[in-house]
Structure 1
Amino acid sequence: MTENNFDIRGLSQAEVIAARERYGLNRFSVKKRSDFLTMLKDLAGEPMVILLLVTAVIYLIRGQNGDALFLALAVFLVAGISVFQNARSKAALDKLKDFTQPKCRVIREGVVVDINSDDLVVGDSLMVEEGMSVAADGKIVRSNDFSVNESVLTGESLPVFKDPLSENPAVFQGTTVASGLAVVVVSAIGNQTRLAEIGRGLEAIVTEKTPLELQINKFVKKMVVAGVIVFVVVWGINYFRFADWLGSLTKALTLAMSILPEEIPVAFTTFMALGAWRLMQLGVVVKQIKTVETLGSASVICTDKTGTLTENRMKLARLYVFASGQFFNADQPVDEDAKQLVELAMWASEPIPFDPMEVALHETYKKSCSTDERPRYHMVHEYPLGGKPPMMTHVFENNSGSRIIAAKGAPEALQAVSGLSVEDSKIVESAVRELSAEGFRVLGVGKGLVEGDGFPATQQEIRFSFAGLVAFYDPPKKNIRQVLEAFYNAGIKVKILTGDNPFTTRAIAKEIGFRNGDETLSGDELLSLPGNEIREKVERVNIFSRMFPDAKLKIVNSLKAAGEIVAMTGDGVNDGPALKAAHIGIAMGANGTEIAKDAASLVLVEDDLSKMVDAIAVGRRIYTNLKKAIQYIISIHIPIILTVFIPLALGWVYPNIFSPVHIIFLELIMGPTCSVVYENEPIEKNTMLRPPRPLAATFFNWSELMTSIIQGLVITAGTLLIYQYAVNKGFNEQLTRAMVFSCLLSANIMLTLVNRSFYYSLWVTLKYKNRLMFPMLAFTLLLGLALLYIGPLAKFFEFESPTASQIMISVGAGALSAGWFEAFKWVKRKK
């Protein structure tokens, strides 16, 4: 980051406060929606709430005021749970919004500071550089080879060069800086900007649902249809037997309540929002919630080298002077030719450097020069980085008209424009290989000559003389070997996509334990391949050198076409298309450009790739725990449904063993269990040793669904066995109901514990750290005992308190009907 303030004072703190009071914050004010009214509207459309209200009205009509009051209170409890879950989700998302607020750079009181874009005020001196997004409308007062892409406003994709003397020296919010640097005095913010007019149209955009969300919604709709069908059947059976249409309607509504799995959508929303919040705490900012469910499926990570695998703190390490053929260590005394090489490379850099290599060149020049020539020269022309391979050229001139034309870039690019002989080219290539083999990043340097006042259209038209090579060392990150090993253990392939040459990349790859890095492919080689060979090459090769935007995008799309779930890291302007195309675009938060952050779906706050290991682990944990929650819901709904339906359909002694009050009580227990307790479950120890799941895979395969169905049927068998036991013993309806209820409640508690893992035993999972699990189960148990043994409650629920032996039989049957699954897991582990 540059600290040069261009002798601009900027606003004082008092002026900032005054401007903010007058113009407000730099944000769009969209049409306000009442959260409370939205919540009421959503609740009014909930099938469970509708059923509860209808049943309460029926009880009221029949004079059963107590039952009607209970169900009315249940509406508030269901609403309370829903509001609580929504509040948790909203709070998590609001924190994410605050955290993802873009930054900008301003000059205030003569000091360059970084602030939130919201805090920008009219009159601020805004600094924008290559790769940044312009945060407000304003007028350019200082610039250096500045061009801006205004396609967001005009649709024109080519960058527009602007300076203070341009016909229209204005820049606009939302546009991106294509090259150079500028200082802009802000003239409009928030709703007053040109972009605000477009932004208002975004209110009508509806976010698309993810594949997983669609699968879950489809499943819930099927259950709703099943509920309607069964509701009609049960109403018909009851009415045929008892000729009481209101009573029959109540019984049918009871069954409809037992079928509706309204906990599933709530669980999904809660898991995703809280997952994003947990990732934020790890230093991974999720810009798109749908990314949370995709994380666990990542099968390939395409990573840049510089700043991701390495520390991006370039140090000038070696010099190669072409004229003498000599190598020098940059930190030791060098001859005049080597000093001139450093000076030429410095002139080929930006006057105010922010690239780590250019910073290193400026620092080395300052240490080695006897007289600093930089104040005496000013830039008169610049050719920005471009070409394949890339190079850049700067033209400086002093007051006497003396010129310096300097270029640097890929050694191949400088060789191509310097007119070297075949023999000289071989000598340079040998020097490049020697430096690259040591893991250095190598740039070629050339001196140009232009006759006359004009400049060629392209830098490649200038006559250059090849001056030599400058080599930088960027050490690998200390933890990168362990990070790569974690990816490999998780079945995730890693590919390096870099602009560097293949020799340097292979040397670094070998140093960090990168696997299968012997074969490399350049961007030009990739795009020259026939279409049918590209996918095969992209799948097989793991190191891609001399990459440019089109080549990166081609790799990402080829991997996607091959069925891979692609995560792509990037920090530069040129990474934008590939970041946008990848399933998971990952931008660097510290050194990444605003364009990269805007294109990505994740931002690593500390530019630390190890956080992606954590993020993938969180993604897999969320998916696994959501599965556990929904399998639990399916398993426990089956015995509730069948315990209500079978006695009625088969004409048993007590055909209506459960009423709506019993069903709603069980529903109130299950909701928090699945969406709160299971969400808090820790990651299982083998999660990051499994291969990634295919994103296209259905949420439940047939085997998993059958497991849940069988669990539910066995619990049903245990519950109905207790029913028949009580009837055969001659117990009355109230005691039979109490025993059946106790059996079902104990099965629910045991199922919650058993389903914490579908592989590890109960004795292992009891050691899992979940601060909510046992308090929630203890509360459920105490509440159940209260209903059975506290007189008024037992009377209201139509229970007769069981004896100690009766409750032990019921609880034992319930625990056994869910606990048998431990034997199944034992057999599974043995296999």
Structure 2
Amino acid sequence: MDQPADAPLPPSDALAGLTGHEAQARLQTDGFNELPRQERRTPLAIMREVLREPMLALLLVGGGIYLLLGDLHEALILLAFACVSIAITVIQETRTERVLDALRDLTSPRALVIRDGTRKRIPGREVVRGDLIVLAEGDRVPADALLMRAQDLLADESLLTGEAVAVRKSVATATPPTARPGGDDQPFVYSGSLIVRGSGIAEVRATGSGSEIGRIGQSLRMLETEPPRLRAQTARLTRLCAIGGGLVSALALVLYGTLRGGWLDAVLAAITIGMSMLPEEFPVVLTVFMAMGAWRISRARVLTRRAAAIETLGSATVLCTDKTGTLTENRMSIAELRVSDGETMAPPASLTALSPQAQALAFHGLLASAPQPFDPMETAFHDFARTALPERPLPTQSGWTLARTYGLRPDLLAVTQVWRPDAAQPSCVVAAKGAPEAIAALCHLDDTRRAAIGQTLDAMAARGLRVLGVAKASFEGTDFPETPHGFTFQFLGLVGIADPLRPSVPDAVRDCRSAGIRVMMITGDYPETARAIAGAAGIDNGATILTGAAIETLAEPALREHLRTATICARIMPEQKLRIVQALKAGDETVAMTGDGVNDAPALKAAHIGIAMGGRGTDVAREAAAIVLLDDDFSSIVTAIRLGRRIYDNLRKAMGFVFAVHVPIAGLALLPLVLDYPLIFSPIHIAFLEMIIDPVCTMAFEAETEEDDIMRRPPRPPAEPLFSRPLIIWSLLQGLLVFLLVGGLFLVATQRAMPAEEARALTFVSLVLSIVSLILVNRSFSTSLVTAIRRPNATLLWILGTMTTVLASSVLVPAVRNLFRFAPLHWHDLGLSIGAAATVLVVLEIAKTFWRDRLRF
């Protein structure tokens, strides 16, 4: 219910608020009421990072040398390769930044404040300390504030506490001590919380970074984001190979310049060898896989803020999940009705067959709710009435008038509302709902009835239900009593309300368990409620529940030991979530953490992989996370895990392939230099192989479908290297076989006095066809070539078609042939090239069959 801006306060209201001058002065002193944001990466900054890649440096140097030699054609081609690589990376990185900007709400919510004795609506970022803010149902609190006035005020603080149930607020009677969010009858309201019932006026005590939400945001700046392990491994391997390639290139420069003369040509030869030995494809392939993985997972409504995190998710051993809004729908619904005569009804079964007593219970619960509800529990009564009471006219639809409302009071935790069905008649219907003990007191029940209600209440609460009592009364006239105790109430029964479990959660939890991932619920809710939700979700709740109070007493070693088997952590404070994640990491677990509230942000950032909810999640949580679920569907996590494992499998195939390809390329670049033969490759040939064939071929591996057992194997050990010793051996064997066959063809052709350009064409075609054989061999580590061929891979077919076209053009089209400095090949030469490639395929398939188990593929 919005209040008019610029409306003068009644004369009796002594609250005048700040003056405009005071507010402006404090705004200049304290700054805007907003959290500092991380600097956005600009395309220029991304480009600077890309230009640090050594391969680009070699391409640019090679292009510059060709310009000095006057070969403009070669120079432009090399520079074009460099520009394409820069453009691909910049486009992908800026796309991620734009998607994140689209998620962020760029306009701050507006606030109604009292300044100069007048109510004014201003942007929330302009609220300052000392401002008087006017709060009403549906308002988002713009800053931390102390209540000066309040009428039946309830606030939803779930973004800060994780609790879905709104808490009561009361006016401060004296200067109160500082309090934390959560708990009833506090005089504080907090930035980011939602007013779900009532109204009030509060004095702002803290804004921006000084607020409770800002305090959590500041703690994020003290945490370092978990670095991607694959990127670190790849960078280390690339550095080692670069050092080795640099030394060989320097040696080649000296030998070429000394033995053959022509130091400029020697530089080009050194660059050629450096390009052939430098595995710059490793970071390129990693980037391509992560970017394509981000695109694939986005089709499942999952945004990847840091693409490398997908791989880490595939190795997760523990998935820490919040309860409210993550496992549950963050939407209250009526789960059980228990009428006074003992009848029990659990929706959604038999809604159309409700007994008259159950209908009266649901109907009067609706009458005791606000006509336009913001409180999730009152919304549940409205939703239930529309579904379960289709024949009964609802008050908001049939002209009933709300004559009087008695709000919650600390001495009576119940809401009572008086409705007049007919404005011309004095008869009124009175309905009350609230804490069962409060409703029992209104109904003046005896001790026996109260004890029976208490037993029923305990049984319902043990199943995780929030229980409310409902009563009804009638009244004649307009002279209503001062308190609800003046009515003669009849007890109707109890209503159990629950935040329902998402339907997809049990299957998702089951998939996680089959994949060896332990699902751990971390919630601020009560232990029994947590146990009930965990049981419904399929989370193993047989272990002892670890509570926040117990965690406070545990030292770090003891906490790590308890967390080895724990699956439920209840009554957890926000800072304890961070401690839990850090303890799990110290216990060598790979930790994934889900959450949506501000209270989850530190744990999201500290985890190996943070997963935030994008629909209802806060900006702070999304900024801290690496993955954002756009549809807030818990089952999407399983999709991401499956994709992460598939990406890692295919990445190992691609990396092994690239490592194998470098052996013959480097060998064929060095062979003529050692034997004093004409050089086979120039920089343009190497650039073509490195910047076109290799990345395109790795796309074929990226498109490979998952292995059959991908979600039935345990997570890989966190310390397992991407390049294991068996994979290195396998790659070397493949590369050496190709080098021996293709190099042998080159030597035979040269010894038979084949022209240099024709020998170069024969060698190049043989090498490319052998690369195709390596692709086919490496499509699957666990199955044969025949089985792998049956798997659909449209990308591979497209690549093979493209490579065939390029090869045919390089041999048959004069312009392209001259560009590559090739001579026409005879048909028997092509037969030799095809035979070499076929030999590679057959030999490696046989070797893979015998070595698969030993190489642990």
TM-score calculated relative to the size of structure 1: 0.71
Post-superposition offset of 1:750: 1.9
1:244-643 mapped onto 2 (5 Å cutoff): 244-305=262-323, 307-311=325-329, 312-319=331-338, 329=345, 332-334=355-357, 353-360=373-380, 376-377=404-405, 379=407, 408=435, 431=456, 434-435=459-460, 439=463, 441-443=465-467, 470-472=495-497, 476-498=501-523, 514=538, 516-523=540-547, 526-527=550-551, 530-531=554-555, 532-545=557-570, 547=572, 549=574, 552-571=577-596, 575-576=600-601, 578-592=603-617, 597=622, 600-643=625-668
Read off the aligned partner of 1:376 and give its amino acid letter: R
Residue 386 of structure 1 corresponds to which residue in structure 2? Answer: none
Which amino acid in the other structure matches residue 686 of structure 1?
D
CA contact under 8 A between 1:572 and 1:592: conserved in structure 2?
A: yes
C-alpha separation in 2, matches of 1:527 and 1:670:
55
Q: Please give the per-residue CA displacement for 1:307-349, whole angstroms capped at 9, x wherever unaligned.
A: 544554521513487xx9x56558544499x969987x998x9
Shift of 1:780: 2.1
Are the equivalent residues in 1 in contact too, given 2:47–2:90 (CA < 8 A)?
no
Q: Residues 472 and 632 of structure 1: is their aligned pair in 2 closer, same or farther, counting only changes over 3 Å?
A: same
Query: Match of 1:766, SS?
Result: helix
Which of 83, 87, 90 matches 2:91? Answer: 87
Q: Indicate the larger mover: 302-311 or 222-231.
A: 302-311
Task: Quote the Cα distance in structure 2 between the aligned partners of 1:756 and 1:157.
Answer: 62
1:228 is displaced (CA, Å) by 1.9
Contact 1:8–1:107 at 8 Å: present in 2 too? Answer: no
1:803 aligns with 2:826: yes
* Aligned equivalent of 2:766: 743
**Residue matched to 2:81:** 77
Structure 2 residue 794 is matched with structure 1 residue 776: no
* Change beyond 3 A, Cα 1:571–1:248: closer
Q: 1:788 touches 1:802 (CA, 8 Å); kept in 2? A: yes
Partner SS state of residue 98, structure 1: helix
* Residue number among 821, 825, 830 corresponding to 2:844 in the alignment: 821
SS of 2:766 mapped into structure 1: helix
CA spacing shift, 1:783–1:722, aligned 2, 3 Å: same
Q: Distance in 2 between matches of 1:359 and 1:524?
A: 31
Q: Is the partner of 1:663 in helix, strand or coil?
A: helix
Q: 1:296·1:619 contact (CA, 8 Å) conserved in 2?
A: yes
1:815 offset after TM fit, Å?
4.0
Deviations 1:64-117, CA, capped at 9 Å, x for gaps:
x45x52233221133124313432443354234324547987899xxxxxxxxx
Change (3 A) 1:713 1:471: same
Q: Distance in 2 between matches of 1:778 and 1:738?
A: 19
* 2:336 aligned partner, one-letter code: A
1:566 is aligned with what amino acid?
V
Deviation of the 1:756 alpha carbon: 2.5
CA distance in 2, matches of 1:129, 1:576: 27
- Equivalent residue for 1:418? none
Shift of 1:255: 0.6
CA distance in 1, matches of 2:612, 2:37: 28
- Please give the alpha-carbon distance, in whole angstroms, between the structure 2 residues aligned to 1:131 and 1:638: 66
Q: Distance in 2 between matches of 1:31 and 1:519?
A: 44
Say if 1:226 and 1:335 are closer, same or farther in 2 by CA, change over 3 A. closer
* 8 Å Cα contact 1:727/1:736 also seen in 2: yes
CA distance, structure 2, for counterparts of residue 563 and residue 374 of structure 1? 60
Which position in structure 1 is the counterpart of 2:785? 762
CA–CA distance in 2 between the matches of 1:254 and 1:133? Answer: 64
Matches of residues 126-141 of structure 1 in structure 2 within 5 Å? 134=142
Match of 1:790 in 2: 813
CA offsets per residue over residues 191-234 of structure 1, 9 Å max, x none? x9999x999xx99x998853332322222222222222111111
Q: How far 1:236 moved relative to its partner?
A: 1.7
* Other-structure match for 1:47: 54
CA distance in 1, matches of 2:142, 2:361: 39
**Equivalent residue in structure 2 for 1:701, among 718, 724, 741:** 724
Indicate the residue corresponding to 2:350 in structure 1.
none
1:621 and 1:767 mapped to 2: Cα distance? 18
Q: Cα deviation per residue 1:467-490 (whole Å; 9 max; x = unaligned)?
A: 996423565544333322321222
CA distance in 1: counterparts of 2:769 and 2:358, whole angstroms: 86
User: Contact 1:316–1:361 (CA<8 Å) still a contact in 2?
Assistant: no
The equivalent position to 2:258 in structure 1, one of 229, 235, 240, is 240
For the Cα contact (< 8 Å) 1:760–1:825, is it kept in 2? no
The CA distance in 2 between the partners of 1:727 and 1:320, in whole Å, is: 98
Equivalent of residue 644 in structure 1, options 662, 669, 685? 669
Q: Note if contact 1:280-1:286 (Cα within 8 Å) is conserved in structure 2.
A: yes
Change (3 A) 1:282 1:723: same
1:628 and 1:780 map into 2 onto residues whose CA distance is 20
Contact 2:547–2:569 (8 Å) recurs in 1: yes
Could you tell me which amino acid in structure 2 is paired with residue 269 of structure 1? T
Q: What secondary structure does 1:540 align onto?
A: coil
Normalised to the residue count of structure 2, the TM-score between the two structures is 0.69
Letter in 2 for 1:640: I
Cα distance between partner residues in 2 of 1:276 and 1:282: 10
Question: Could you say if the C-alpha distance between residues 227 and 597 of structure 1 is closer, same or farther in structure 2, counting changes exceeding 3 Å?
Answer: closer
CA pair 414-244 structure 1, distance change in 2 beyond 3 A: farther
Shift of 1:261: 2.5
Shift in Å, 1:664: 2.1
Q: Distance in 2 between matches of 1:543 and 1:32?
A: 37
Contact 2:332 2:497 in 1 (8 A): no
- Please give the alpha-carbon distance, in whole angstroms, between the structure 2 residues aligned to 1:275 and 1:640: 29
How far residue 699 of structure 1 moved from its aligned partner, in angstroms, is: 2.6
Distance 2:265 2:664 in 1: 23
Query: Could you say if the C-alpha distance between residues 500 and 621 of structure 1 is closer, same or farther in structure 2, counting changes exceeding 3 Å?
Result: same
Residue aligned with 2:720, SS = coil
Residue identity over aligned pairs, in percent, reads 30
| Counterpart residue identity of residue 775, structure 1 | W
The residue that corresponds to 1:176 in the other structure is 192
| CA deviation after TM superposition for structure 1 residue 604, in Å | 2.7
Cα distance between partner residues in 2 of 1:261 and 1:7:
65
Equivalent pairs, count:
729
Aligned equivalent of 1:670: 693
* Counterpart-to-counterpart distance in 1, 2:297 and 2:139: 26
The one-letter code matched in structure 1 to 2:193 is V
Counterpart of 2:349 in structure 1 is none
